[in-house]
Amino acid sequence: MTLDDFLLALVAPARLGEEITPGVRLLGISTELGPRLTLQVGEHEVHVEIAPREPTRPSAAQSSRLALSYRSSTSAPVDAALGVSLCRALVDVIAPNEETALRALRDAAPHGADAESSAKVREVRVARLLEPAGTPDARYFSVSPYVGCLIGCRFCYAHSHVAVSRTLARLPEVPWGSYVDVRINAAEILAAELSTAPLHPIKFCPIVSDPYQAVERRHRVTRGCLEVVRSEARGRPVLVLTRSAALVDDMELLASMANAWVGFSVPTEDDAVRRHFEPRAASIPERLATLALLRSRGVRTFAVLQPVLSDDVEALASALAEVVDSVSIDVLHGVQGAERDFDDPRFEHMRASSWQAERRAALAQALAARGVGVWAGELPPELRGPR
């Protein structure tokens, strides 16, 4: 049993597109950032996340073995009363199914040598790849050729979510940055899915995994997926976001694509700061040089600043203005596993939400003064709107 199968077994007999309970329709499932149901409740689209029940895990409702929480699929928050009542209604649906579904997951878990290898690098096959994402006015697909990330930035909020999936799948508990699943049939599955998929942009993004982490040079899964997208006659927009200079291997491919947007995470202009927080990622000079090269080849370039780790916003804005067309800025969303990184007296001030917000505003102003577009959300403004 896969985690997709697990989610569907929990809400059986309902299927995708059907009502789970009166007035609640199952729009989709996802396991990229932990097991999640996407539900339509009246005019609201709500994500319900499912995790093992633990004493310290916050939740809106609990079954005997699982904890349910909710969040909005848009920037507008879900009404608390609606979210709680939805989770409680789902508990009634899940409760009769959970023991059977959890037992099937346990029986499918790796054992012995397979369990040991799953703590490192393992090759897996998937039945689907495109993950619907975004809001009704800005739909897109995310694609993860890998799950798990050997770059392993400790402040990354993905690892706590991916850990939920690994726990349910009974995979070994290992540190973020020490494992990766290689989706070896990703290009094949993507080709099949694109034949019927709406013309939404596709985002290759280091949410659950960097598309150009070290294993890409061996397995070339990201490259294979990009070749599939390029072969589409419709010129589908594609966004690639990375922290790795290995992206330069695909420079020619990206430049040949009709509608490619390529970006780097550039949280600071100071490489000493980068070495402290992102020791296994590309240096800041490498990132800026690669962006300059991409731009010279006619590729649309952008940068994502999340979290902000710069004390000198003017220097960072000037560096970015030379190499990108636009920038997305967001703040630190919890230190995650980077407590010791932020405990360093040199960087302790950066963890404060007030400092993050102040730097975000100052950066936006400095970039705008240099003619660089600033956007929020997952897509540049040029790619928003129904497709």
Measured CA to CA, the distance from residue 128 to residue 31 in angstroms comes to 11
- pLDDT greater than 70 at residue 246: yes
Between the ranges 32-41, 112-121, 206-215, where is the mean pLDDT highest? Answer: 32-41
Residue 385 is predicted with a pLDDT of 56
Least Cα distance to 32 among 173, 129, 97 occurs for 129
Residue 167 is predicted with a pLDDT of 81
- pLDDT greater than 70 at residue 116: no
As a whole number, mean pLDDT of residues 122-126 equals: 90
- pLDDT greater than 80 at residue 136: no
Residue 110's pLDDT band (cuts 50, 70, 90) = low
Residue 387's pLDDT band (cuts 50, 70, 90) = low
Q: Tokens standing for 374? A: 């600033």
Give this prediction's pTM: 0.85
Cβ atoms of 203 and 141 closer than 8 Å: yes
| Model confidence pLDDT, tens digit, residues 257-306 | 989 999 999 999 999 999 999 999 999 999 999 999 999 999 999 999 98
Q: Tokens standing for 337? A: 């596993």
As a whole number, mean pLDDT of residues 343-353 equals: 96
118 vs 78, higher pLDDT: 78
Residue 135 is predicted with a pLDDT of 78
Residue 207 is predicted with a pLDDT of 67
Residue 219 is predicted with a pLDDT of 96
As a whole number, mean pLDDT of residues 102-112 equals: 79
- pLDDT greater than 70 at residue 97: yes
Measured CA to CA, the distance from residue 55 to residue 48 in angstroms comes to 19
Quote the mean pLDDT of the chain. 90
- pLDDT greater than 60 at residue 113: no
| Model confidence pLDDT, tens digit, residues 169-194 | 777 777 776 788 999 999 999 999 99
Measured CA to CA, the distance from residue 297 to residue 313 in angstroms comes to 28
As a whole number, mean pLDDT of residues 253-259 equals: 94
| Model confidence pLDDT, tens digit, residues 319-335 | 999 999 999 999 998 88
Cβ atoms of 3 and 165 closer than 8 Å: yes
As a whole number, mean pLDDT of residues 353-357 equals: 96
As a whole number, mean pLDDT of residues 339-355 equals: 95
Residue 148 is predicted with a pLDDT of 86
| Model confidence pLDDT, tens digit, residues 5-51 | 999 999 999 999 999 999 999 999 988 878 999 999 988 889 999 99
Residue ranges of E strands in the chain = 19-21, 24-30, 36-41, 44-52, 61-62, 66-72, 121-124, 131-135, 138-143, 146-147, 180-183, 202-204, 238-242, 260-265, 300-305, 326-329, 373-375
Burial pattern 226-257, b for ≥16 Cβ within 10 A else e, equals bbbbbebeeebbbbbbbbbbbbbbbeeebeeb
Residue 104 is predicted with a pLDDT of 93
Residue 217 is predicted with a pLDDT of 95
As a whole number, mean pLDDT of residues 71-99 equals: 90
Please, what are the domains in the chain?
Answer: 3-108 (no CATH), 114-383 (3.80.30.30)
Residue 382 is predicted with a pLDDT of 84
In this structure, what DSSP letter does residue 382 have?
G
352 vs 209, higher pLDDT: 352
63 vs 163, higher pLDDT: 63
Residue 60 is predicted with a pLDDT of 95
